[in-house]
A = this chain, B = another copy of it.
Amino acid sequence: MYSSSANVSERQAAPPSLAISTVIFALRPSESSGRPTLWLPLVRRIREPFKGLWALPGGPLSHSESLQDAASRNLRETTGLAPSYLEQLYAFGGLHRSPTQRVVSIVYWALVQPTEAALADESENVRWFRADRLGELAFDHNAIVDYALWRLRNKLAYGSVAYHLLGEYFTLAQVREVYEAVLDRELDPANFRRQLKSTPEIEETGEYLQGGKHRPPRLYRFTGRPGLDPDNRSTL
Binding site of A, secondary structure by majority: helix, strand, loop or mixed? mixed
* Residue among B64, B65, B66, B104 making CB contact with A67, cutoff 8 Å: B104
- Near B by CB (< 8 A), chain A positions 54-104 give 61, 63-67, 88, 90-95, 102, 104
- Assembled-state Cα–Cα distance A147/B95 (Å): 27
Closest to A61 in B: B16
Interface pair B16/A147, CB less than 8 Å apart: no
Q: Is A17 an interface residue (CB 8 A)?
A: yes
Interface pair A16/B63, CB less than 8 Å apart: yes
Interface pair B104/A18, CB less than 8 Å apart: yes
Question: Which residues of chain B are near A92, meaning CB under 8 Å?
Answer: 230
Q: Determine which residue in A63, A144, A228 has the highest number of CB atoms from chain B within 10 A of its CB, and name it.
A: A63
Question: Which residues of chain B are near A17, meaning CB under 8 Å?
Answer: 15
Q: Is A106 an interface residue (CB 8 A)?
A: yes
Shortest Cβ gap from A79 to chain B (Å): 22
- Assembled-state Cα–Cα distance A66/B91 (Å): 11
Interface pair B91/A106, CB less than 8 Å apart: yes
Closest to A94 in B: B66
Q: Determine which residue in A12, A16, A229 has the highest number of CB atoms from chain B within 10 A of its CB, and name it.
A: A16
Interface pair B64/A95, CB less than 8 Å apart: yes
* Residue among B64, B66, B90, B95 making CB contact with A88, cutoff 8 Å: B90
Q: Is A143 an interface residue (CB 8 A)?
A: yes
- Assembled-state Cα–Cα distance A15/B19 (Å): 11
Q: Determine which residue in A66, A93, A147, A228 has the highest number of CB atoms from chain B within 10 A of its CB, and name it.
A: A93
Shortest Cβ gap from A69 to chain B (Å): 9
- A15 in contact with B12 given A63-B102, A143-B230 (CB within 8 Å): no
Question: Which residues of chain B are near A230, meaning CB under 8 Å?
Answer: 90, 92, 143-144, 147
Task: Give a binary string over A4-40; 1 marks a CB under 8 Å from any B CB, 0 the rest.
Answer: 0000000110011110000000000000000000000
Contact sample, A vs B, 10 pairs, CB 8 Å cutoff? A11-B63, A12-B63, A12-B64, A66-B93, A66-B94, A67-B93, A90-B230, A93-B106, A143-B230, A150-B228
